[in-house]
Amino acid sequence: MPQRPSDTLQRFYTAFSQLDHATMAECYAADAQFDDEAFSLRGRDEVAGMWRMLCSATRKSGAANWKLEFRDLQAEGSQGRAHWEAHYTFSATGRRVHNIIDAEFTFNEAGLILRHRDRFSFWRWSRQALGLPGLLLGWSPSLKRKVRSTAAGNLRKFLALPPA
């Protein structure tokens, strides 16, 4: 049964705030696309796998340090947007991060997410998550490529594991 895109956004971010990757995955169409500074994913399996990996890592590194704030959920026709801020411990370095993200969405006729694009300052994120290397090189395309390559490799390894 079709749902309103605004309801999909509310459901998605509420589930995200609770690190409920299964409900988040249900908000995506089978042929969904996701892009941000670290990932470029195609298909619900890849997108859902990323959220499962990130939610699992957040739980392991300290769910007590996790906080998601979201606002300005807007959906009109097949387009939507949202603003969200995540507070968490970056599992690779143990450093605290406050990431500020603006998201854009396209929905299919069933009200599911077809395209999801998150935008944030990579340099700001890398300074917090990586420390000195992020401060010095966060502006450089080479660090961004390295982060994307590492993220893709981590996701491939994670998806190869049986679900916990």
pLDDT at 2: 66
Task: List Cα–Cα distances, 65 to 7, 11, 43, 155, in angstroms.
Answer: 27, 22, 30, 22
Residue 161 has pLDDT above 80, yes or no: no
pLDDT at 92: 84
The 10 Å Cβ neighbour count of residue 69 is: 13
The 10 Å Cβ neighbour count of residue 143 is: 18
For 66-123, how does the pLDDT look when each residue is reduced to its tens digit (9 = 90+)? 999 999 999 999 999 999 999 998 888 889 999 999 999 999 999 999 999 999 999 9
Strand order from edge to edge, sheet including 28-35: 40-42, 28-35, 113-119, 95-107, 79-90, 67-76
pLDDT at 113: 98
**Bridge partners (DSSP) listed for residue 57:** none
Q: What proportion of the chain, given as a percentage, has pLDDT over 90?
A: 73
pLDDT at 123: 93
DSSP class of residue 65?
G
Residue 1 has pLDDT above 90, yes or no: no
pLDDT averaged over every residue in the chain? 92
Separation of alpha carbons 8 and 111, rounded Å? 7
Buried b (16+ CB within 10 A) or exposed e, 41-64: beebebbbbbbbbbbbbbeebeee
Highest mean pLDDT among 45-49, 134-138, 160-164: 45-49
Kindly state the average pLDDT of the residues 41-63.
90
